[in-house]
Amino acid sequence: MSMTVAGKDVCGFCKGDIAAAAEKAELKSLTVKAIDDKTGLPRNYYWETGMKSIKEKIDDNWRVYT
């Protein structure tokens, strides 16, 4: 499943809340697309079952935001 956040990046509280909602909905994975507040560039987050927060993929590495 995928989700798009319009206008801003995902806030710190929402990163955990999105993961919790995806877990409750019994999703296997979730992709979240957003826009970086400072640069205006796209940011892509990913979540899989069991993760406590969404992660961002940057240059084939995962960055964890809590």
User: Which of 45, 1, 6, 8 lies closest to 27 in space, CA to CA?
Assistant: 1
The continuous run of DSSP H or E covering 22 comes out as helix 12-24
Number of domains observed in the structure of the chain: 1
Residue type present at position 42:
P
pLDDT at 57: 79
Domain that holds residue 44: 2-64
> pLDDT tens, position by position, for the chain (66 residues)?
999 998 889 998 999 999 999 999 999 999 999 998 888 889 999 999 999 999 997 766 655 554
End-to-end CA distance of the chain: 21
pLDDT of residue 6: 87
Give the per-residue pLDDT at 21.
97
Q: Are 34 and 55 contacting, i.e. CB atoms less than 8 angstroms apart? A: no
| pTM passes above 0.75 | yes
